[in-house]
Amino acid sequence: MEKPGIRRRRGVWSRLLALGFLAFGGNLSALTGSVDISSRDAEIGAPLSVTIVAYGAAASDTSLVLGEDPEGLLLTESRKSQARLSGDGGKQENAVVFSLTYGTLKAGVWPIGPFEVRSGEESLRFGALPVTVRDPRAVSSLPLRWVLPAAPIRVGESRDLFLYGPPEALNGSLACVLPENALLELLSAPGGGNREEGSVEIARYRWTPLAVGEVSLPQASVGLPSGVLMTEPSAVFVGSPLRSAGSAPLAEALQEAFTPPREEPEPAAPPTVPAETVERLRLLRSAEYRSFFPSSLRSERLALEAALGMGETLKVPPAAWKLPLVLAAALVLMVSLLFLVLSSRRALFGLLSFLGAAAFFALAFFALSLYIRDTPVAGVADPGPLYNVPDTGSRAVETLFGGEAFRVLRVSADWIYAEDGEGKRGWIQAGRFRPYTDNPSAAE
């Protein structure tokens, strides 16, 4: 017959195991997400679609909290579904997809949101998305246009430049971009004095051309609740100035305008890191990643990065210890279970079983932390731009000089969305990325 003390020890052991596995489960969950909208500019009556994705969530315990509908929009449909999507690092994972459809009722700029996704005890918040709704019936067919007096135009001679447009433009917000090779001065704000062919005078400017040849007229716009009216690109021919023996000299400002600028030497860009140095950094990081005792390799890598003037770089996880820790945890668990069986004979084995359980959880937690840190693909980048969006024609966040280490957050076709050790993010072409981790990636 089993002794009561033995039954109590086994009950404590079972509860400790259950608490440990619950702790593992809590650490494995991490709620991330994204929000996307079909268009930021729509006409009245056109539907707007908003898609909210919550990664690492289950549809059964995930809900979406919406803000109040704005005056010009109405939520007409809301759907929730479970899917398998590519998350950070390009890996497939469970995701909950919320699909919202809004009807556009009134012209204006309206905020959709904010949104809050709740899954269990975790929550994820997204800010409001501003949307412009236009009324196509309210925009007049009359465009904005410039009117110049019918007289020859010469460099340095000022002319009154009239802006004409539909009557409703008088109530809008006027803006005019300063043109190149010309001076521009506002003489009168919108007043609607002169009328011509159904249009009214919106504003009057003093315009002084500063270059000979085809000179572009300014770009003017008027913002209305239903949209924006803009002038079409146009240019006029400007002739050379008339200069006689007794004529007054040009104004000082115009003389400075006609004086060709001095050519300043462009500052020399910092030198890019040679390809062999970038490869050396990759090899050092790869060896450090696979080594059980990487201190000497880490010192050499840090010295090389310091010589190249790099700031805080991406840390290399001790990935070589992952498998030994898992094997050690499994071995300790089996020995602990053996002591638990033998505890019916001697109380010492019960104590050893408890100590083995503590060692098992310590090793398992350490191994799990290494696996979590080693989840993203990591590598070094060749010299070149770090783009804001995956397009070579987009704005560059900055220029990389080579050797910088990044972790992969997302993979899209031939592009990689990556983050460095300082939290800076951007898109890198896959051909310029050299991985040093063992994780599978589309960049390899």
Q: The domain spanning residue 305 has which CATH number?
A: 2.30.30.40
Q: The domain spanning residue 88 has which CATH number?
A: 2.60.120.570
> H or E stretch including 151?
none
The number of domains in the chain is 3
What is the model's pLDDT at position 25?
A: 42
Residue 6 lies in a domain: no
How long is the chain? 444
Residue 19 lies in a domain: no
What is the model's pLDDT at position 97?
A: 92
The token pair that represents 93 in the structure block: 């994972």
Domain final position from 99, 134, 169:
134
Q: Residues 365-406: pLDDT tens digits?
A: 877 877 777 778 889 999 989 988 888 877 787 888 888 889
Tokens 């004409």 found at = 164
Residues in a beta bridge with 73: 104
Residue 39 belongs to domain spanning: 32-134
Q: Residues 30-69: pLDDT tens digits?
A: 678 888 888 887 888 889 899 998 888 888 888 888 878 8
Domain final position from 231, 257, 283:
257
What is the model's pLDDT at position 99?
A: 93
What is the model's pLDDT at position 29?
A: 44
In terms of domains, do 113 and 168 share one? no
What is the model's pLDDT at position 397?
A: 79
**Cβ atoms of residues 81 and 99 within 8 Å:** yes
The token pair that represents 174 in the structure block: 């006027």
Domain final position from 97, 113, 134:
134
Q: Name the more confident of 230 and 99.
A: 99
In terms of domains, do 292 and 228 share one? no
**Cβ atoms of residues 229 and 139 within 8 Å:** yes
In terms of domains, do 424 and 290 share one? yes
pLDDT band at 87 (very low <50, low <70, confident <90, very high): low
In terms of domains, do 216 and 285 share one? no
In terms of domains, do 322 and 402 share one? yes
What is the model's pLDDT at position 215?
A: 82
In terms of domains, do 431 and 285 share one? yes
What is the model's pLDDT at position 148?
A: 80
In terms of domains, do 366 and 290 share one? yes
Which residues does 323 contact at the CB level (< 8 Å), separation at least 6?
none
What is the model's pLDDT at position 255?
A: 52
> H or E stretch including 7?
helix 4-28
The token pair that represents 65 in the structure block: 């909290």
Percent above pLDDT 90 for the chain: 5
In terms of domains, do 39 and 87 share one? yes
The chain-wide mean pLDDT, for the chain, equals: 77
In terms of domains, do 288 and 367 share one? yes
